């Protein structure tokens, strides 16, 4: 089919909520590169928004997908049959995580993982209040939308969940507002869509202490930060704080759709009675997705990707900070926000990146920065190649 007509059909029939979709027509993707129908090659600096941690079409992941697809695909709604990819992945996670995070409920997406975690907290605690933070993003379904950290995105969808309290990230005084009425606190240890806001000082430790003190469950949303993005398998490892519930998605599936909420066996068991089937999913933990996830974890380990994240991050930072139009580079590992002098500059910059072959993206809650979140497999030469193009876009 002719390129133009495929694009027209895309615009006509594939619903978009973006007012300005990039509409790149991708024929093939490999490593950090996207190969387009018009012959151009793009560098993917967003990883499909923090998904392609092991690069596009990593041969080991592709092989695992093929192998599992030939063996079996969907068999039965979640949790009824013993499916080896699910079991092996759950066991692998339990090995990677602290002891209290040993029971894994597989779902399909980040939103669903957080929805499940919120239901779990309500059910376990018998309480109703949920606490989240301004500038947070936890997904787009109505439960998690209730905890979205910006009224702009919620206003026209009300009524949403009642009993939600929004606090300021890094505001230690406001932690007093978490009380014995609070079922859970849902928080990203690093707020990605805020433009990569890092926890200051010992904010997460104090949050942990407060939650423990009042008996509220602490849920870490590591949908974006998990599975190596920040340089450790999970971001929470870097802050010395263990949550009661952990949620994963995005990079977790190695490029396939997969999410999970993970807790202790004791907490998780509250979803099995009164009512039984406290959370249900048909496709959660799809065997092909779980096989891909296992392969991706293997790649992260066998290629020692975590150990290289810091150096690659510093290389990006050092290069970007040489440009006078860059005000600041924030972040951890390969989740970076490059803050420019103003929004107009950022808009002009984005236009040029499309001309120069860079796939980038905005942050939902920050209109002065762009993100750098390439596959963790990016090489140092590729970092330099990307930086050269970024400077060209900033300077032209």
CB of 121 to ligand PMP, least distance (A): 16
Query: Other C-beta atoms within 10 Å of 17: how many?
Result: 6
Nearer to ligand PMP, 139 or 231 (CB): 139
Buried b (16+ CB within 10 A) or exposed e, 281-299: beebbbbbbbbbbbbbbbb
Query: What stretches of the chain show up as alpha helix (H) in DSSP?
Result: 3-13, 47-50, 59-71, 84-96, 110-125, 142-145, 203-214, 265-268, 287-302, 305-321, 343-356, 380-395
The residues of the shown chain that bind ligand PMP, judged by CB under 6 A, are 49, 109-111, 114, 137-139, 188, 192-193, 221, 223-224, 249
CB of 389 to ligand PMP, least distance (A): 25
Distance of closest approach, residue 3 Cβ to ligand PMP, in angstroms: 28
**Position closest to ligand PMP via CB:** 110
Nearer to ligand PMP, 133 or 326 (CB): 133
Closest to 136 in 3D by CA, of 123, 124, 147: 147
User: Between 147 and 387, whose beta carbon lies closer to ligand PMP?
Assistant: 147
Instruction: Identify which of residues 249 and 389 has a Cβ nearer to ligand PMP in the complex.
Output: 249
What are the backbone dihedrals phi and psi of residue 340, each rounded to the nearest 5 degrees, phi first? -95, 175
320, 115 contact by CB (below 8 A): no
Distance CA 370, CA 15 (A): 25
User: In the bound complex, what is the minimum distance in angstroms from residue 14's beta carbon to ligand PMP?
Assistant: 17
CB closer to ligand PMP out of 258 and 393: 258
Least separation, in Å, of the C-beta of 110 and ligand PMP?
2
Cβ closest to ligand PMP, residue 252 vs residue 316: 252
How far lies 294's CA from each of 93, 151, 254, 290, 301, in Å? Answer: 10, 38, 8, 6, 11
Q: How many CB atoms lie within 10 A of CB 194?
A: 24
Nearer to ligand PMP, 167 or 394 (CB): 167
**Cα angle at 373 between 295 and 144, to 5 degrees?**
85
Euclidean distance between CA atoms 122 and 124, whole angstroms: 6
């Amino acid at each position: 089919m002719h390129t133009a007509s495929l694009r027209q059909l895309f615009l006509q029939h594939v619903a978009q909520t973006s007012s300005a979709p990039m509409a790149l027509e991708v024929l093939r993707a490999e490593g950090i590169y996207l190969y387009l129908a018009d012959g151009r090659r793009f560098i993917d600096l967003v990883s499909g928004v923090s998904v392609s941690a092991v690069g596009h079409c990593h041969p080991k992941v592709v092989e695992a997908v093929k192998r599992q697809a030939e063996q079996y695909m969907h068999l039965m709604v979640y949790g009824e049959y013993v499916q080896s990819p699910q079991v092996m992945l759950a066991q692998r996670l339990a090995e990677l995580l602290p002891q209290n995070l040993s029971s894994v409920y597989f779902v399909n997406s980040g939103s669903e993982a957080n929805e499940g975690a919120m239901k779990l907290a309500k059910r376990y605690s018998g309480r109703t209040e949920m606490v989240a933070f301004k500038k947070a993003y936890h997904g787009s379904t109505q439960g998690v939308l209730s905890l979205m950290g910006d009224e702009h995105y919620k206003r026209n969808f009300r009524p949403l969940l009642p009993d939600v309290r929004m606090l300021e990230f890094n505001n230690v005084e406001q932690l007093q507002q978490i009380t014995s009425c609070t079922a859970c606190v849902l928080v990203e240890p690093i707020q990605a869509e805020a433009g990569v806001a890092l926890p200051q000082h010992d904010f997460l430790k104090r949050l942990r202490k407060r939650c423990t003190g009042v008996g509220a469950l602490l849920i870490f949303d590591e949908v974006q930060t998990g599975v190596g993005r920040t340089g450790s398998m999970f971001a929470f490892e870097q802050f010395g704080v263990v949550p009661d519930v952990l949620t994963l998605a995005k990079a977790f599936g190695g490029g396939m759709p997969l999410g999970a909420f993970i807790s202790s066996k004791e907490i998780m068991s509250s979803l099995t009675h009164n009512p039984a089937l406290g959370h249900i999913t048909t496709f959660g933990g799809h065997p092909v997705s779980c096989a891909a996830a296992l392969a991706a974890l293997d790649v992260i380990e066998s290629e020692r990707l975590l150990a290289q994240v810091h150096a690659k991050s510093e290389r990006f930072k050092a290069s970007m900070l040489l440009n006078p139009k860059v005000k600041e580079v924030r972040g951890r590992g390969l989740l970076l926000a490059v803050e420019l002098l103003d929004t107009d500059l950022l808009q002009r910059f984005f236009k040029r990146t499309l001309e120069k072959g860079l796939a980038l993206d905005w942050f939902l809650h920050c209109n002065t920065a762009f993100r750098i979140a390439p596959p963790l497999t990016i090489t140092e030469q590729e970092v330099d190649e990307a930086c050269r193009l970024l400077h060209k876009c900033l300077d032209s």
